[in-house]
Amino acid sequence: MRRFLSFGLLCLLLLSITVTAQAQTSAVVDADDAAALELLEALDVRSFPAKGEAITAIVQSDDERARDWLQALLDGRLQRTDDGRFVVVLDNRGRDWPVADALTNEPLGEMSRRDLDRIGINNNLRNQLRSAIAVVDLYSPDVERRRTSADRLLGEVDGELAEALAPLIAEADDEYVRTRLTQAVAIYRTEQGEMAGIDALTGSLHPRARVALSRAANSDDPVIANAAAGALAGIEQQLKINRGLETLYFGLSLGSVLVLAAIGLAITFGVMGVINMAHGELIMLGAYTTWMMQQLLPGQPGLALILSIPAGFLVAALVGIAIERGVIQFLKGRPLETLLATFGISLILQQLVRTVISPLNRTVITPEWMSGSLVINDALSLTLNRMFVLGFALVVFAALMLIMRRTRLGLEVRAVTQNRAMARSMGIRATRVDIMTFALGSGVAGLAGVALSQLTNVGPNLGQNYIIDSFMVVVFGGVGNLWGTLVAGLSLGIINQVLEPWAGAVLAKIIVLVFIILFIQKRPRGLFPQKGRAAEG
């Protein structure tokens, strides 16, 4: 009996402890909600200055819900019901709006907009809210959010905020955030005519910094004006260097596309002496293969692009073999007739694509890992898709060099290129080499189409935009020489990008064409001429 009584007393004691703990927890929660309710009620007043003070109080409250409240207030979604409850509108379309409790974030269903009263703000409060949200985000554990917040503060800092940012700058563990906050405060100091701000902005390439320095350069104070003008002069010099680097990057990117488009042509032209006017359409088929792979694998653009590399090569190579076996083998030694026949094939392929697929351009989705840019500084960013295309072109070039230098096919191709008759007498089957070479060159053209699909829209006329440039690259670099194709393609890409800003796209191409014509007059065999008795003859 005593044991049962002891056990009962123990249970009652545990129950009382649990109830007491729950009551204390509920009291804490109620106290938190009461403090939060006071913060929100301070916003629901007519005086805009009082609302500004309430916004500051919310920022200083360290409440986890502070950012959501401020964002909802900025978006006009923080509203109050007829019974005095603060709610956040989740979707303000239609008559009835779904809402959630601003304190608990609990969904409350739909309410008529007539039963809601929006908390109004003016432009000054909007600016304050943007700065306040940025300050709140500076305490976020997410590095990207902190960086975005620091970017948002550039040009938005006032005297009070400058003082509040000082400890954040000292405590910032991310160099990007620290630099941006320092620049934000320096912009404010510069606009106030302080020399310390100008010194801090010296060398900064951010547009907001240049705007602040430009205003300071027009200051009535000659010391401030001279210092700002000197800082601007140094920045302009750095901008010229960065613009030059950007031009070089875009030139290399364009050159890599020309290399991919021309390298297959260089192989077939060097071995067979065939001017293949359908080469551009083989590029177009590689691009359409990429688009079709994305149709087969919807929602997986990355996987589709990777699978398009072997698929694009095979499709273009098979079409190339069909062209060589069906037409070119019967026209060997007749270059004009070969040129006309392949031109006709190019028209047939274009019309076939228009009939089977569509005459309209198609868009190929760029995978997420190829999107965006690599930011070097505030004035220079390198787009990732062009960077991948440049790397892809170099990989393809290296693979072709290995094939030509390390495989039997490469040895036979070089032999046929240098002296076809001697190669035949040594037992090399020149016909088989022609087929394999044309398939290889056509397959590389398909790879060029896969790469181009990430830079431009895919259409029936895609290849026509690169066929003339491809021939110029082959002739300029030296017929059949891979190194010549690489050097010529990259060089012409850079020259085009340098000329286009002041000459225009059309005139730049004309200048390049005239340059190549004059160059060929001096060096008929190009930069890297073929070696061998046949070439010399």
Which residues are within 8 A (CB) of 129 and not within 5 positions of it... i.e. 6 or more apart? 55, 70, 73, 74, 121
> For residue 116, what is the DSSP state?
E
Which residues are within 8 A (CB) of 432 and not within 5 positions of it... i.e. 6 or more apart? none
Both tokens assigned to 521: 């007059």
pLDDT given at position 480:
67
Please check whether residue 260 is in contact with residue 493, taking contact to mean a CB–CB distance below 8 angstroms: no
Please check whether residue 316 is in contact with residue 446, taking contact to mean a CB–CB distance below 8 angstroms: yes
Longest pairwise C-alpha distance within the chain: 122
If residue 382 lies in a helix (H) or strand (E), which one and from where to where? Answer: strand 380-383
- Measure the CA–CA gap between 200 and 194, rounded to whole angstroms: 10
- Measure the CA–CA gap between 509 and 519, rounded to whole angstroms: 15
CA distances from 490 to 282, 393, 477 (A): 22, 11, 10
pLDDT given at position 339:
85
Please check whether residue 286 is in contact with residue 312, taking contact to mean a CB–CB distance below 8 angstroms: yes
Please check whether residue 92 is in contact with residue 75, taking contact to mean a CB–CB distance below 8 angstroms: no
- Measure the CA–CA gap between 158 and 138, rounded to whole angstroms: 17
pLDDT by position in tens, the chain (length 537): 545 444 444 444 444 444 443 433 333 335 567 788 888 888 888 888 888 888 888 877 777 788 888 888 888 888 888 888 888 888 877 778 898 988 888 888 888 878 888 888 888 888 878 777 777 778 778 888 888 888 888 887 877 778 878 888 888 888 888 999 899 899 988 988 888 889 989 888 899 999 999 999 888 888 999 999 999 999 999 999 999 999 999 999 989 988 988 888 888 876 677 778 888 899 999 999 999 999 999 888 889 999 999 999 999 999 999 998 888 888 877 878 888 898 999 999 999 999 998 888 888 988 988 888 888 888 888 999 999 999 999 999 999 889 888 888 878 877 777 777 787 787 788 788 888 888 888 999 999 999 999 888 899 988 888 888 888 888 888 776 788 888 888 988 888 888 887 777 778 878 887 888 787 777 777 777 665 544 444
Please check whether residue 526 is in contact with residue 488, taking contact to mean a CB–CB distance below 8 angstroms: yes
Instruction: Give the chain's length.
Output: 537
Radius of gyration of the chain (CA): 35
pLDDT given at position 448:
92
Task: Write out 48-74 in H/E/C secondary structure.
Answer: HHHHHHHHHHHHHCCCCCHHHHHHHHH
**Burial of 7: CB neighbours in 10 Å, binned 0-12, 13-18, 19+:** exposed
If residue 309 lies in a helix (H) or strand (E), which one and from where to where? Answer: helix 301-326
CA distances from 81 to 85, 88, 360 (A): 5, 10, 53
Taking 3-state DSSP, the helix, strand and coil percentages for the chain, each rounded to the nearest 5, stand at: 70, 5, 20
C-alpha dihedral sign at 330, 536, 425, 265: negative
CB neighbourhood size of 362 (10 A): 19
- Measure the CA–CA gap between 29 and 332, rounded to whole angstroms: 90
pLDDT given at position 149:
84
Which residues are within 8 A (CB) of 63 and not within 5 positions of it... i.e. 6 or more apart? 36, 39, 69
**What's the CA angle centered on 535, arms 529 and 537, to 5 degrees?**
135
pLDDT given at position 354:
92
The strand order across the sheet containing 86-89 reads 107-112, 96-101, 86-89, 78-81, 116-118
The whole model's pTM is what? 0.75
Of 174, 181, 219, 217, nearest to 200 by C-alpha is 181
> For residue 141, what is the DSSP state?
S
Task: Render pLDDT for 364-379 as a digit per residue (tens, 0 to 9).
Answer: 988 988 888 888 888 8
> For residue 363, what is the DSSP state?
P
- Measure the CA–CA gap between 311 and 233, rounded to whole angstroms: 53
Please check whether residue 369 is in contact with residue 302, taking contact to mean a CB–CB distance below 8 angstroms: yes
Please check whether residue 383 is in contact with residue 370, taking contact to mean a CB–CB distance below 8 angstroms: no
CB neighbourhood size of 390 (10 A): 21
377: β partners = 380
* Pairing outcome for strands 78-81 and 86-89: antiparallel
- Measure the CA–CA gap between 478 and 399, rounded to whole angstroms: 20
pLDDT given at position 60:
75
What is the DSSP track for 462-519?
A: TTHHHHHHHHHHHHHH-TT-HHHHHHHHHHHHHHHHHHHHHH-HHHHHHHHHHHHHHH
Please check whether residue 397 is in contact with residue 263, taking contact to mean a CB–CB distance below 8 angstroms: yes
